[in-house]
């Protein structure tokens, strides 16, 4: 039995659909089963409620561990306590393997999600169950929601310079989680997941223009100015400063590496940004 956390998210939904298609034994952890609208079994639970995690993990042997990323909150990122609670509950339940979604560049002392995921990776390594780490690049889905990426007039805004990012489709991350959840092998492995190409945001804007028929420009700002913009929008200054520092790393090529891991794990090439946009347009 597999427990899927983050089941209603951009990775969780396609993962649940694929596990259901394959006839796998799984249940999804959700806050409100009535609203989840997911195939297969669901368990009501919350990362902040250890008793609910114990109930959801009853009879479970493998866990897919995923939760929302970095948030503009003071102090440690909430995901550390929340995912840590799942790891502890999994140990209590005798879970044999945990497949965790981390982030590309996770490292001790890293910025935002990088540092938080590094803490959790280390907890997972010493917890006891087998572990598998998936470290994806930025999500293509960010350009569907527009959160934090678009200005009020619809242009892309950032501080990436000419830096390239090998954005990945969240559905490809889900597909890469299937083999270590269903098969033997993979224990103790870390997989860096990217799309098949590294694009600048100027190139991304051009592809968005072609896909939508609406002119989209990329407006690059100095990192410090971008941080000031975030503060003006109400985000805490330390969080904004970390975002700006992360952008500076990306501008130097920190997320430009392209891997073939998606193809190696799934047997098919990773989704291109152009194909992602065409699919999203077809879905409305």
CA distance 133 to 136: 10
pLDDT of amino acid 283: 54
Local confidence band at 77 (pLDDT 50, 70, 90 cut-offs): confident
Q: What is the pLDDT of residues 132-168, one digit of tens each?
A: 999 999 999 988 765 556 666 778 888 889 999 999 9
CA distance 7 to 27: 9
Average pLDDT on 186-196 reads 98
Instruction: Report CA 41 to chain centroid distance, whole Å.
Output: 23
pLDDT of amino acid 281: 80
For the ranges 18-22, 57-61, 108-112, 165-169, the lowest mean pLDDT is seen at: 108-112
Q: Report which of 127, 31, 118 is spatially closest to residue 77, judged by C-alpha positions.
A: 118
Show the tokens assigned to 212: 């939508």
Average pLDDT on 115-134 reads 96
Contact 107, 114 (CB under 8 A): yes
Whole-model pTM? 0.93
pLDDT of amino acid 212: 87
Q: What domains, with CATH codes, occur in the chain?
A: 2-137+168-195+257-270 (3.40.50.720)
Local confidence band at 171 (pLDDT 50, 70, 90 cut-offs): very high
**Alpha helices for the chain (secondary structure H):** 12-21, 33-36, 50-56, 78-93, 113-127, 142-145, 170-182, 201-212, 223-232, 237-251, 261-266, 273-283
């Amino acid at each position: 039995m597999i427990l899927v956390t983050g089941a209603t998210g951009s990775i969780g939904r396609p993962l649940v659909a694929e596990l259901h298609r394959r006839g796998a034994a799984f249940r999804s952890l959700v806050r409100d089963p009535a609203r989840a609208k997911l195939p297969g079994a669901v368990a009501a639970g919350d990362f902040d409620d250890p008793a609910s995690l114990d109930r959801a993990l009853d009879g479970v042997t493998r866990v897919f561990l995923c939760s929302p990323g970095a948030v503009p909150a003071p102090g440690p990122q909430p995901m550390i306590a929340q995912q840590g609670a799942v790891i502890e509950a999994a140990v209590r339940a005798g879970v044999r393997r945990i497949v965790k979604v981390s982030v590309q560049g996770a490292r001790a002392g890293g910025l935002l999600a990088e540092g938080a995921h590094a803490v959790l990776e280390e907890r997972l390594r010493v917890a006891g169950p087998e572990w598998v780490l998936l470290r994806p690049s930025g999500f293509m889905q960010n350009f569907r929601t527009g959160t934090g990426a678009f200005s009020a007039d619809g242009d892309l805004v950032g501080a990436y310079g000419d830096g390239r990012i090998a954005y990945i489709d969240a559905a490809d991350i889900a597909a890469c989680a299937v083999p270590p959840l269903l098969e033997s092998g993979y224990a103790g492995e870390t997989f860096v997941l990217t799309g098949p190409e590294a694009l600048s945001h100027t190139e991304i804007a051009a592809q968005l223009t072609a896909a939508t028929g609406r002119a989209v420009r990329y407006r690059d700002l100095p990192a410090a100015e971008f941080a000031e913009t975030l503060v003006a929008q109400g985000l805490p200054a330390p969080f904004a400063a970390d975002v700006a520092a992360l952008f500076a790393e990306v501008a130097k090529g920190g997320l430009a590496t392209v891997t073939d891991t998606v193809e190696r794990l799934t047997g098919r090439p990773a989704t291109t940004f152009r194909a992602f946009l065409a699919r999203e347009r077809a879905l409305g």
